[in-house]
Amino acid sequence: MRASDFFRFPKSLKAFSYFFSDESYPWTWLPNIEKALLAYESFKPRNSFLKSVKKLFSRASAIQIGDSVYLGENVKLPAVCTIGDRVYIGDGTEIRSGALIRGNVIIGKNCVIGNGCEIKNSLLMDHVQVAHFNYVGDSILGSHVHLAAGAILSNLRFDKREIAVKVGEEKIPTGLKKLGAILGERVQIGCNAVLLPGSLVGRDSIVSVGTVFGGVLAEQKIVRSDAKNIIIDRKYV
């Protein structure tokens, strides 16, 4: 199982590509997000379109900004949001009202981070839509992934033990106590679906509305719960 089985690293983020090997397990990318951002900061890129976000807003702005935050061209920011330390936001991405980007986050170009969403220690590639009220923790989302309203990528076991990934009959230890989801390109996660810690979803697959899923889902599959609605007559007292 390699990162290249799930996604290709986009050209828009090539400044970080050294830290993310296509041949490694995809979850090994997570500890490298902070390293990549620290290296980027020390390099002090000369690209004219990258600016420190603090220079773009007055003190009266309701946007709270951490250190080492970089914006690409035509990034849209709302009146109210919070961006923590070490965050890179690519060209044309839109951040909507009330979003919380806690830090150590790389976001590619033309993405949407919707209202009330929280993201931490994650890598989002190009054209990713995290629509409304989502939690994305310690996760990697390939290009064109879509999270519908309320979808949650949980990242911590109740017992706080190391997370293992089960592939067939084999359990692969990750060495991580916090691991959300690895989502391949064009994956769709339905409204109010929950992915358990260490879930991997292959390219072009769907986790349907309200489904709780954990494990590895192969490419071009759909997983949905078997719950059925029961309709009865309403009785008035």
Kindly list the strands in the beta sheet with 146-147, ordered across the sheet, starting from the edge strand earlier in the chain.
94-95, 112-113, 129-130, 146-147, 188-189, 206-207, 222-223
The proportion of the chain whose per-residue pLDDT surpasses 90, expressed as a percent, equals: 69
pLDDT for position 110 = 97
Of 53, 46, 102, 59, nearest to 76 (Cα)?
53
Domain count, the chain: 1
Q: What is the pLDDT of residues 46-74, one digit of tens each?
A: 443 344 444 455 444 567 777 788 888 89
Full residue range of the structural domain in which residue 112 is found: 3-223
Residue 158, C-beta contacts closer than 8 angstroms, at least 6 positions apart:
none
Instruction: Give pLDDT tens digits for 90-115.
Output: 999 999 999 999 989 999 999 999 99
80: CB partners within 8 A, 6+ apart? 62, 63, 97, 98
This prediction's pTM: 0.88
Kindly report the CATH number assigned to the domain that includes residue 53.
2.160.10.10
Whether residue 37 is contained in a domain is answered as yes
pLDDT band at residue 228, thresholds of 50, 70 and 90? confident
pLDDT digits (tens, 9 = 90+) for 116-156: 999 999 999 999 999 899 999 999 999 999 999 999 999 99
Is 158 inside a domain boundary?
A: yes
* Residue in the structure block whose two tokens are 């989002």: 124
Which residues fall within 8 angstroms of residue 135, CB to CB, at 6 or more apart?
Answer: 117, 118, 152, 153, 154
Tell me whether residue 235 is in a domain. Answer: no
Q: Is residue 166 in a domain?
A: yes
Predicted confidence at residue 167, as pLDDT, reads 80
183 band by pLDDT with thresholds 50, 70 and 90: very high
Are the CB atoms for 41 and 68 separated by under 8 Å? yes
Binned at pLDDT 50, 70 and 90, residue 28 comes out as very high
Query: CA 86, CA 225: separation in Å to the nearest integer?
Result: 38
Is residue 53 in some structural domain? Answer: yes
Residue 59 confidence (pLDDT)? 44
How high is the pLDDT of residue 45?
Answer: 52
Is residue 80 a part of any domain in this protein? Answer: yes
User: What are the tens digits of pLDDT across the range 166-178?
Assistant: 887 788 999 999 9
229 is a domain residue: no
> Is residue 118, in this structure, part of any structural domain at all?
yes
